[in-house]
Structure 1
Amino acid sequence: MTRSPCEISWFSALCDDDYEFLGVPDPKLRSSWAHCRDIVLQAESGGFDNILLPSGYALGLDTTAFAAAVAPLLHRLRLLMAVRIGEMWPPQLARQIATIDQLLGGRLTINIISSDLPGETLASAPRYARTVEAMQILKTMLNGDPLDHDGTFWKLKLDPPRIGTVSGRAPLFYFGGLSEDAREAAAKGCDVFLMWPDRKAVVQAIIDDMTARAARHGRTLRFGYRAHVVVRDTEAEARTAADRLLSKLDAATGATIRAQSLDTNSAGVRAQAELRERAADDGYAEDHLWTGVGRARSGCGAAIVGDPDQVRAKLEMYRAMGIDAFILSGYPHAAEADLFARHVLPHIDHAPLVA
């Protein structure tokens, strides 16, 4: 069976997550307009299809402002702009999305984050229910349709904003989460379900479960895989580079970094911790899947490590399982983007996902 091209995205470290040595802050790699802009431009020149602009309340740069600023500098690259639903009023967010999409010439995609409002803590069920409502409101308005929404969190009757996206349709919504509430929210409202690294059998089980859930809502999903990469000329060099990342990290510093995240108690973060705890003594959970990154960050905590052929084969394995999009990163982000772009990307059939 002929597979469609997969989308290959990179990552811009807007949330103070760039290092030469994990856990050792480097002033030159801290989030700033210039540094994060340069990562985005590196991704465009390297041939990536898209780039994730992450969002954190406490750390780094404001994602929406950054997306608007960098959009006019780009000619081909898409932006995957993360938005924290708990901090947004959906009608205003719809206008921001439409405006930035116009600045990009129609190349904006959205990573929906089911966040709390800073200072607020909602239980899982209502927080994800609010996210589903937000996705419904956004899709209605960005599709150019009048809004008549009578929900639990918003009651709105509005005409669509005058400014719309270039296509006249809502951009693709990427969304991830492993809890029961998160999975149901994704099945109801997102377009691309994102997952963090895990063993092959676990990834397949998630794909199967989410496919069935979406079908029960009369929908289909695409699937995305978010991982770090360490690629070098040989496997030995790649494993040495991975070990070097951790060579100045102590356990207390790693725990402090992980605790800074707002999602430390989420099902996805717990799954990454379990993957790391069950890995072999060298940190590998399975061939070429290294969990050492998770010792110094919350969230996505594993890397694909190997020579160019091994990294490509790992990605092709996921493609065969049904993964449509990859969001990759490495440390330092600009340098690893260059290595991946030169040694792996030209040998993968890739293109932006289209709605």
Structure 2
Amino acid sequence: MTFRTIDLIEPEFGWYMPTRGDGPYIGVKPERVVDTAYMIRVAQAVEEAGYTFALIPTGGACTDAWIMGATLAAHTKVFKPLIAMRPGLIAPALAARMGATLDEVTGGRALFNIVTGSSAEDMKAMGDPLAFDKEARYERTAEYIKIVRQLWINSHNVEGNTLLANRSKEKEIERLDFSGKYFSLEGGVSYPAPVQRPHPPFYFGGSSVAAKRTAAEIADVYLMWAEPLDWIREQIEEVEYHRERLRVSQGIGRTIRYGMRAQVVIRDTEEEAWAAAKRIVSKVDPATLHETETRFLHAESEGQQRQNRVRQLAAKDDYVIGPNFWAGLSAIRGGGAMAFVGTPDQVADRLIEYIDIGVSSFILSGYPNLEEATLSGPLIPAVRRKLRERAASGQKISVS
């Protein structure tokens, strides 16, 4: 057993943009028209509630994350769009230029979520040649992000917006030559330089061994779907193991933050919160429930299989995993479906338990996302108030 000491880190709070549909119930057709005007309303509500960023999903029936993210940033002040960057679908040098441009036009508000893969059907539909080869996709992702990251770092060698106006400035930027298994680049250059230094952060998730090994190389924030505390601690330690191996074998020392994706249902009283949570699944019919559960059980994603196991273990207790923690949505909603249910103070206590083991980034959501962003807003000051009270003691946490 190993121990490490972590500092209590000021957490960041993000929300989720429901580009594939929104409404108060799941397991039925989304009740609301989700167009650009609606997304702007959600983004502005998210910002007003105190969230600083939002995950914009990709694949399936989602709108394009890049264009939606740029649009939402134009209608907000501090809102940071967490954009899906998909290796294999956009050339890395072009993605670097697009990403740096987005960071420049938003004044340094661009964040990037590295999406290595999704369902095989989605990847086939998008023309990904590695739709059925997960190990190869992670290898490709590592190459891809190394290229994008280095192009961004190199681009800071250019002073001001001068590269195109004065071509003599080109000699001031270190050009990138790269020859890998999946990508090659000769004299690669990206412009403009991103506002954030050394580059905008990369968020990255995946529960397989290959994903965690890749995270050690490229992730600034490693994302997990909400699970019981011990399970999350175990995942963090696995990534830390690969990070340490990278340091020992290659001399590469990296710092990784940890994040968690979850649902929240927050009300003034715990009784009101649980009633609201149960309403979300009140309209699903048995046929839909059976079909969805069967599909989840056969999912290739290790993360989804972990969500399945949490749900199965909690089934005998009406899907209550622990205090204020519920798996009831996970039989219908895939991915990050585990929900924290209760008052702002109760849910704050639960999240602080995760902060204590190293989680510092939370991406939350609720049904419907527009109203729930506002209703959940009191959670953020509750967490910060409780952390300030603890920080007075200079507390650090030893994690096993």
Q: CA deviation at 1:256?
A: 5.2
- Quote the Cα distance in structure 2 between the aligned partners of 1:226 and 1:42: 19
- Quote the Cα distance in structure 2 between the aligned partners of 1:39 and 1:253: 28
Aligned to 1:253: 288
Tell me which moved more, 269-278 or 64-73: 64-73
Q: CA deviation at 1:167?
A: 2.9
* % identity of equivalent residues: 32
Question: SS at the partner of 1:85?
Answer: coil
Taking structure 1 as the reference length, what is the TM-score of the superposition?
0.91
Q: CA deviation at 1:110?
A: 0.7
Is 1:181 the counterpart of 2:210 in the alignment?
yes
Return the match for 2:360 from 321, 324, 328.
324
Change (3 A) 1:2 1:272: closer
Return the match for 1:278 from 313, 317, 328.
313
Aligned to 1:135: 145
Query: Which residue type is aligned with residue 267 of structure 2?
Result: R
Q: Which runs of 5+ in 1 are unaligned?
A: 351-355
Aligned to 1:310: 346
Q: CA deviation at 1:109?
A: 0.9
Write the mapping of 1:183-202 to structure 2, written as runs, cut at 5 A: 183-202=212-231
Q: CA deviation at 1:2?
A: 6.0
Question: SS at the partner of 2:334?
Answer: coil
Aligned to 2:48: 45
Q: CA deviation at 1:301?
A: 1.8
Aligned to 2:336: 300
Q: CA deviation at 1:3?
A: 2.1
Aligned to 1:122: 132
Query: Which residue type is aligned with residue 298 of structure 1?
Result: G
Taking structure 2 as the reference length, what is the TM-score of the superposition?
0.82
Aligned to 1:80: 82
Q: Which runs of 5+ in 2 are unaligned?
A: 1-5, 118-122, 156-173, 248-253, 386-400
Q: CA deviation at 1:168?
A: 4.9
Is 1:170 the counterpart of 2:199 in the alignment?
yes
State the number of aligned residues: 345
Q: CA deviation at 1:83?
A: 2.1
Question: Is the 1:31–1:60 contact (alpha carbons within 8 Å) kept by the matching residues of 2?
Answer: no
Query: Which residue type is aligned with residue 222 of structure 1?
Result: R
- Quote the Cα distance in structure 1 between the aligned partners of 2:102 and 2:358: 30
The root-mean-square deviation of aligned C-alpha atoms, in Å, is 2.0
Query: Which residue type is aligned with residue 373 of structure 2?
Result: A
Aligned to 2:394: none
Write the mapping of 1:104-115 to structure 2, written as runs, cut at 5 A: 104-115=106-117
- Quote the Cα distance in structure 1 between the aligned partners of 2:87 and 2:290: 27
Question: SS at the partner of 1:305?
Answer: strand
Question: SS at the partner of 2:55?
Answer: strand
State the Cα deviation string for residues 85-122 of structure 1 (Å, max 9, x = none): 23221111111111111121001111101024634423
Q: CA deviation at 1:133?
A: 0.8
- Quote the Cα distance in structure 2 between the aligned partners of 1:320 and 1:27: 39
Return the match for 2:9 from 4, 10, 13.
4
- Quote the Cα distance in structure 2 between the aligned partners of 1:306 and 1:158: 55
State the Cα deviation string for residues 103-146 of structure 1 (Å, max 9, x = none): 21001111101024634423111011011111101101111252
State the Cα deviation string for residues 32-80 of structure 1 (Å, max 9, x = none): 2122221111111111121111111x21211111112222212112221
Structure of greater Rg? 2
- Quote the Cα distance in structure 1 between the aligned partners of 2:290 and 2:56: 24
Tell me which moved more, 247-256 or 311-320: 247-256
- Quote the Cα distance in structure 1 between the aligned partners of 2:104 and 2:15: 22
- Quote the Cα distance in structure 1 between the aligned partners of 2:294 and 2:31: 21
- Quote the Cα distance in structure 2 between the aligned partners of 1:198 and 1:140: 34
Aligned to 1:265: 300
Q: CA deviation at 1:27?
A: 4.1
Following TM superposition, the consecutive aligned residue runs of length 4 or more in structure 1 with deviations greater than 6 angstroms are 258-261
Question: SS at the partner of 2:376?
Answer: helix
Query: Which residue type is aligned with residue 113 of structure 1?
Result: V
- Quote the Cα distance in structure 1 between the aligned partners of 2:62 and 2:36: 10
